[in-house]
Amino acid sequence: MMNGLNRRVLTAIIFVSVMISGSYAGPLVFVGLFGLIAALCLWEFLGLVLEPGLDRKLIGLYIGLFPYFLATLYHLDIIDDTAQFTLQASLLFVPTLFLVFLYELSTKGTKPFSNIGFIMLGMIYIGVPFTLLEFAAFENKTYHANIVMGLLLMTWINDTAAYFVGSQIGRTPLFPRISPKKTWEGTLGGVAGTFVLAFILNTVFAELQLIDWLILAVLVGLFGSLGDLVESMLKRSFAIKDSGSLLPGHGGFLDRFDGFIFMLPFAAAYIVWLR
């Protein structure tokens, strides 16, 4: 019989193996893997916030993933012209958003505009960050797996270092109203861990300069920790412990990717700006 710790370790090993192999298996596997992760995170989020109804969740999933789908068409060179992509994305995207209004109009939901708002929030909170990951990973239609792996490794190190430092010497609560166990010491330990990793990444990955890895370390350490607090705020609002149970010992996919999701808009914006 596998105990909780062994289950957690086994899940972590499988999870890390899938993420590493999926990131380096090429652009098709990359967009497929992270599209699936985005879908699972969205599914958990929508299950928490929406009124019951499979159709409503499916529409929320469709709208939430639509930006990612459009970006995939562009980066995989299915749409090869930037001006054409911008025009077609605008013409397709805006009408798609209004499908949820039509759905709520045709149902007997008691909180139609709450449902509409949460579906739009799911797109912004989850769909858009994963879309921005594509723009960080691709440059002129060329896929850079090391960029993706660098962001993943920084996120993992930030979480791990924050946990160990916080559990050993953490005394000063960071945001006790939202997460009583998270401390300033742990948060600074996480940032320090990402700084150390930045120097290592600079020696093995040639895509960015040392200063760029260090800036990304700050962004990942700061906004990754805030992302964990944001998801804690979400779970506290709905009085739940985990967003799901798909990852034994780790909760749901949104629990595992909360910091990664929240830091992506900032890290991706910096990477795209560099180009």
Residues pairing with 139 in the sheet: 142
CA-wise closest residue to 74 among 65, 83, 63, 64: 83
- pLDDT of 170: 85
Looking at residue 56, what is its pLDDT?
Answer: 94
Report the chain's mean pLDDT, rounded to a whole number. Answer: 91
Angle at 170 between CA 169 and CA 175, to 5 degrees: 175
Cα–Cα distance, 49 to 63 (Å, whole number): 15
Distance (Å, whole) CA 3 – CA 224: 29
In contact, 164 and 187? CB cutoff 8 Å? no
Q: What is the pLDDT of residue 69?
A: 93
**Residue 251 bridge partners (DSSP):** 247
pLDDT tens for each residue of 20-42: 999 999 999 999 999 999 999 99
* pLDDT tens digits along 77-117: 887 777 677 777 777 788 888 989 999 999 888 899 999 99
pLDDT at 3: 60
Say how far apart CA 61 and CA 30 lie, in whole Å: 19
User: How many whole angstroms separate alpha carbon 254 and alpha carbon 251?
Assistant: 8
Look at residue 153 and tell me whether its pLDDT is greater than 70. yes
Q: How far apart are CA 243 and CA 256, in angstroms?
A: 9
As given in the structure block, the two tokens for residue 133 are 């990951």
What per-residue confidence (pLDDT) applies to 133?
98
Position 1 scores a pLDDT of 45
Q: What is the pTM of this model?
A: 0.93
What values do phi and psi take at 206, rounded to 5? -95, -5
